[in-house]
Amino acid sequence: MHFTINGTKYDADPDIRTSLLDLLREHLGLTGSKKGCDHGQCGACTVLVNGRRINSCLTLAVMHQDDEITTIEGIGTPDNLAPLQSAFVRHDGFQCGYCTPGQICSATGMLDEAKKGWPSHVSESLDGDIALSDEEIRERMSGNLCRCSAYPNIVDAIREIAGEDA
């Protein structure tokens, strides 16, 4: 099978039981996506599939031959950080770092959802533009757990980037 990940084509022959997460981590050496629960409960495995954020532990690799997949490795590199990644570093939006790739992929997808006007549970209205208040960011990021609880610093980092985009 062929997979397109971060713009690169990969050949792989995964077991039909292999999750997208395990394809990335165990077959392709893309270990930036993390396995925290393997149950879709923690968000550490969040990647972007065709621009939308998903828990890669809850989807099978064989379902994604024709998809454009973006992982943390495709967002930036240590020598060339994406703006959101440097904001995480500046605001200390992590401690142990294990949930961090998922938080960043999730935030990337979330910023796009907000730009498209998708409402959340705390949105005032189902229509119109979304102003990313702290409450909106917290609500929309609550699928990504962080036991170190860097949450307020993560919100600071996302708010800074959301402000630049606006």
Partner 1 sequence: MADQELPTRERISVLDRAVQRVLGQPIDRTDGPAKVTGDARYAFEMAAKDALYGHILTVQIGAGTIRSIDATAARTAPGVVAVLIDDDRLPADAVNSFDKPKSWRLGREIEFFGQGFGVVVATSAEAARAAAALVKVDYAPRTGRFDPDLSKPEEHEPEGLRPAVHTGDFDAAFDGAAYRYDAVFTTPIHFPAAMEPQATLARWEDDRLILHSSLQSTGGATKAIARALDIKADRIRVIAPFVGGGFGGKTSVGAEAIYAAIAAKETGHPVKIVQTRRQTAHLAHHRAPTRQRVRIATDAEGHIRAFGHNSVIAQRHDRWFIEPVHIGTTHLYAGAARSMGVDVVRANHPTSGAVRSPGEACGTLAIEVAMDEAAEALGLDPIEFRRRNEPGASPVDGKPFGTRKLVECYDEGARRFGWDRRNPVPASVREGDWLIGTGMAAAIRSNITVEARANITLHPDGSALVETDMTDIGTGTYTILMQVVAEALGLSPDKVRVAIGDSTLPRSAGSGGSFGASSSSSAAALACQDIARTLAARMGVDAGDMTLQEGHAIAANRRVPLTELLAGEAVRADGHAKPGDHTNAHVSASYGAHFAEVAVSATTGEVRVRRMTGVFDIGRVLNEKTARSQILGGMIWGIGSVLHEDGMIDARTGQFTNPDFGEYHIATHADSPPIDIHFIEAVDDLANEAGAKGVGELGNSGAGAAVANAIYNATGIRIHDYPITLDKLIDALPED
CA 132 vs CA 37, 101, 116, 122: distances in Å: 29, 21, 12, 11
User: Residue from 8, 39, 118, 165 that binds partner 1 (CB under 8 A)?
Assistant: 39
Size of the site for partner 1 (CB under 8 A): 62
Indicate which single residue of 90, 117, 131, 166 sits in contact with partner 1 (rule: CB under 8 A).
90
Q: What is the Cα–Cα distance from 15 to 129, expressed in whole angstroms? A: 43
Q: Which pairing describes strands 46-49 and 68-70: parallel, antiparallel, or unpaired? A: antiparallel
Among 12, 37, 49, 62, binds partner 1 (CB under 8 A): 37
Q: With binding defined as CB under 8 A, does residue 123 bind partner 1?
A: no
**Binding status of residue 38 toward partner 1 by CB under 8 A:** yes
Please give the order of strands across the beta sheet that includes 68-70. Answer: 8-11, 2-5, 68-70, 46-49, 52-55
Binding residues vs partner 1 (CB under 8 A): 15, 17-18, 22, 25-26, 29-39, 41-42, 44, 71-73, 75-79, 81, 85-86, 88-90, 92, 94-101, 104, 134, 137-139, 141-142, 144-155
